[in-house]
Amino acid sequence: MSERSEPELTLADLGESEILARIFPRLPESSATLVGPGDDSAVMKAPDGRFVITTDMMIQGPDFRLEWSSGHDLGVKAAATNLADVAAMGARPTGMVVSIAAPATTSVTFMEDIADGLRDACLELAPGCGVVGGDLSVSTVLTLSVTAFGDLGGREPLLRSTAQVGDVIAVVGRLGLAGMGLAALFAGERAKARASALQAQLAPLPPISQGVIGALAGAHAAMDISDSLVMDAGRIARASNVVLNLDEHVIDDLSGQLAIELGIDAARARQAILFAGEDHALLMTFPASVTLPEGFLAIGFVDACEEGESPHVALGGTSISENGWNPYAGWNGETS
């Protein structure tokens, strides 16, 4: 006769203190911590005298689906999306606070898996960054909220408003993969999708360390590409009152490479390169005299607005509509 397995523990079976006692040992420590978890607040070093701070939420439904994502995936993505915003300011990530609201029926193992994902993302993407605190609550919908901190190391922050006419537009990280992964999931074609596209969507590993590298190389402006290349380039254009002119030949080359990698037609790949979101690549502008750091790809130039012309994004000199990821409507792989 086979032995009956014991039912898995849920959050309702344990108190908050016991849950935290299981989670915190799994999380990485921050090298900037003076007082860590256990008090009403953490205390962190601020050697630069300034903090970069960003926050982001992931809500079951609009941001992720449990039939697609494991707990580990969610932990990785929650960390990566926030770390990318810190990196886009030219800062080194130093710490995070994480709040999770979950149904009482959620298994403790699932929560531990989220913690493991947070840990692995920090170790892979931002060594020295750790979780210094957070909160747990109950909700009918699983929600993760992360606030991340970063150290500028004495440098000025990279802003959206500081691109200059004549700058080279450069990107580091992949474009289009996450959007194609999402399109495959929505289409019910997970089994056919390439592993690289699924990972880019479910558990992204963006080039976090390149934020500081770009800043040290002399970047003028930067931002994380979370909503689409064109949409986020448009934000830099408006903030800096310039035109971001993308090189059509480079975009075509990237589209061709993505098409071959994913086994799709080049037109579909081009749509993803330009208009898909959630890749969390870094978009930066550099003085034309700067040698781009390794890994960065020049994709265009910053031009001045003509008289009477509004800031915008152009492709090969022609204005292009700024479509991309919309949290209220999503992205279905089209440019509508």
pLDDT at residue 42 in the model: 87
Model pLDDT for residues 86-113, shown as the tens digit of each residue: 999 999 999 999 999 999 999 999 999 9
Tell me what the pLDDT averaged over the chain comes to: 93
So what's the pLDDT on residue 3? Answer: 53
What are the boundaries of each domain within the chain?
11-151, 160-319
Asked if residue 232 belongs to a known ligand binding site, the reply is no
Q: Which helix (H) or strand (E) holds 204?
A: none
Yes or no: say if 54 and 68 are a contact pair by the CB < 8 Å rule. no
Per residue in 213-250, pLDDT tens? 999 999 999 999 999 999 999 999 999 999 999 999 99
Question: Is 226 one of the annotated binding-site residues?
Answer: yes
- Read off the pLDDT of residues 246-272 as tens digits, 9 standing for 90 and up: 999 999 999 999 999 999 999 999 999
Any alpha helices (H) in 148-194, and if so which ranges? 177-186
120 annotated as ligand-binding = no
User: What pLDDT is attached to residue 297?
Assistant: 98
Task: Provide the whole-model pTM.
Answer: 0.92
pLDDT at res. 36: 85
Amino acid at residue number 213:
I
pLDDT of 69:
97
The DSSP result for 44-61, as a single string, is E--TTS--EEEEEEEEBT
Does 224 belong to an annotated binding site?
A: yes
Say if residue 253 carries a ligand binding annotation. Answer: no
In this predicted structure, what is the pLDDT of residue 330? 53
Flag whether 56 is marked binding: yes
Domain 160-319 bears CATH identifier 3.40.50.620: no
Report in angstroms the alpha-carbon separations of 124 from 79, 91, 114, 129, 276.
11, 17, 15, 10, 25
Q: Is 325 annotated as a binding residue?
A: yes
Q: Is 153 annotated as a binding residue?
A: no
Task: Give the pLDDT band of residue 154 (cuts 50, 70, 90).
Answer: very high
- Among 218, 125, 201, residue whose Cα is nearest residue 164: 218
Is 40 among the annotated ligand-binding positions?
yes
The CATH architecture assigned to 11-151 reads 2-Layer Sandwich (3.30)
Predicted confidence band at 333 (pLDDT cuts at 50, 70, 90)? very low
Residue 227 is assigned to a ligand binding site: yes
With a pLDDT cut of 90, the percent of the chain lying above it is 85
Torsion of CA 9, 10, 11, 17, to 10 degrees: 0
* Structure confidence by residue, pLDDT tens digits, 173-201: 999 999 999 999 999 999 999 999 999 99
Asked if the model's pLDDT at residue 283 lies above 80, the reply is yes
- Cα 128 to Cα 37, 153, 283, 310: the distances in Å are 16, 14, 24, 43
Q: Among 8-12, 73-77, 279-283, which stretch is predicted with the lowest mean pLDDT?
A: 8-12
